[in-house]
Structure 1
Amino acid sequence: MTASPGGRTSADLVIRATGIRTQFGSHVVHDGLDFSVRQGEVMGLVGGSGTGKSVLLRCLVGLMRPAAGRIEILGEEIEGAGDPDLRALQQRSGMLFQDGALFSSLTVAQNIEVPLAEHSALPPGLRREVSELKVSLVGLPVEAAHKYPSELSGGMRKRAGLARALALDPEILFLDEPTAGLDPIGANGFDRLIRDLQEALGLTVVMVTHDLDSLYAICDRVSVLVDKRVKVGTIAELERMSDPWIQDYFLGPRGRAASSAKQLAEQTAP
C-alpha cells in the first residue's frame, strides 16, 4: 500500500485510471493518462475544447472503452468485466448528463423510477415513495414529481435529473456540466446542493465543468486535461504550475473574479 500526499494511501482511491489512451480513428484524445479520485472528495475536471473531458467521463462510467489502459471503480476493474458485473458496478454510481437526459414522455417521478424498476425488486408502491423522497432531496417541490420535463424550468430539470442519478443511492456521482445554462443565482444554488448532498450522503463527486465559480466553491481538487494527460491539484497548487493554459484559466480575469467571490463568501459566512 502506497502513501500519497496528505497522508492518504492507495486504499482511499475509489477511481483509478492508468495509462488511458482514447482515440477516434487516427485522432488521439488521451495518451498515457492517469487519473484518480479519493473517497469522499469533489473532483473537478476541466480542459480546453477538444481535450476529451466528456470522453474521459464516459470511459469512467463504462459507456465507452478506451483503446488502452486500465480503469478501476470501487476496487473493480471495468476492462474485461462481463455485462452482469458491469451493470452491478454501474448501480453504485449515478450520472447527471448535461441536458438532464430525462424521458420526455414520463413524469419526473416515472423518470426516477426507471433505474429502480430496472435494478431493484421494489414493488411499484415503494418505488413511488422512493421517487418522491428523491424529489424532495434535491430541493424540488412535491408537485414537481407529477410534472413532465417540458413543464419544468431548466434549473428544475437539472434537479430532476440529479434526483434520478441518486435513485439507487450511489457511492459515486458523475456530473457533466451541471450548471451549464443556469443563471448565476441558479448555478450558485445548484453548487450548494451538490456540496450539501456530498456531505450528507458521503458521496464522491466527479464534475466536468467550465464554471470557475463552481470550481472555487465546491471542488476539493481539480484535474486539468492538457497535452492528452492530466495535471491535478488544489486550485492553489494549480495556480503555481507553469503551464500556460492553466495560468490563463485560473489567473485570468474570470479566475481572479471567481477567487475574489469565494473569499468574500468566506468572510461573510456566519
Structure 2
Amino acid sequence: MPIARLDSRALIAVTGPEARPFLHNLLTQDVETLGENELRFGALLSPPGRLLFDLFVLGQADGVLLDVAAARREALIQRLSMYRLRAQVQVAADDRPVFAAWPDAPDGFMIDPRTPLMGGRRYGEATPDAAEADYDAHRLSVGVPDPAADAPQDKTYPIEADFDLLNGIDFHKGCFVGQETTSRMKRRGAIKNRMLPLDFDGPPPAFGAEVLKGELRAGEVLSGRDGSVMALLRIDRLDGDLTVDSRPVRLRKPAWMGEDILPSSDA
C-alpha cells in the first residue's frame, strides 16, 4: 500500500478553551461535535461565499489541528488571527509532516472523510515509499478535486468544487462565514458548474483551456497530468461530444457522485 509525504500540505494548531466554538462559527464544517482523533473535511469561505481555504479538521484534546495547503498556511494563520478578537484561542504553525496512504487507510491512518476511496491521512512520522505525484495521480483517478490547485482563491464556490458531495459542508450546523450564499445555492438547486474529471490521450491541455461542446463553451481545464485532468464544467452541456484544443475528451463520472447530480448521458 503506497504511502507518500504531502509536502504541499501543512498543519496549524488551534488551541485554547474557546478553540472549537471559534472555528465552528467560521468553517463550513461542524467543529463543536468533532470527537478526539476524528477527521472531517471543510473550508473557510469569504463573506460572499467563495472558497478561500480548503482544510481537514482533526479533533484533539486541547483543540483542533488544521491540515491546509502549505503555500497558504501563513495567510490562513493571519486570517484566523484577524477573526480571533478576544476569544481565548491560540493559532500557531505545527511542523509535523502530512502523509497519505491509498487505496485504503492502514493502521495509524485516519480514513479520508471526503470518500474512503481516497485512502487515509496521518500527521506525524511515517515511512514513505511513493511520491506525492503518485498520490495526485490516485486523486485524479478517484475524481476528487484539489481545491488548492483547482480553485482560484475567492473565485470558486465550494459547491462548484463538490464540497457538498464530499462531506465538506454541514448544512445543519447553522451560521458560518459565507453560509447564506452556500445554503441558497443548495436549497434552490442553483448549481450551474461542477469540477469533474476528463480523460483523453496524450499530455494535458494548458490550465484554463476551453472545453467545448461543438461550438459552445462547456467549461475550462484545471490541474492534471498525462491522460487526465480536472475541469470546471457546465452541467447543462455534458450530454454530447466534448473537445479541448480540437482533441476529444471523455467525461468520467466519479464513483462517489450520486446518480442525480449530472444530466442523463453516457457519463
- TM-score, normalised via structure 2 length: 0.26
**Would you tell me which structure has more strand in proportion to its own residues?**
2
**Would you tell me which structure has more helix in proportion to its own residues?**
1
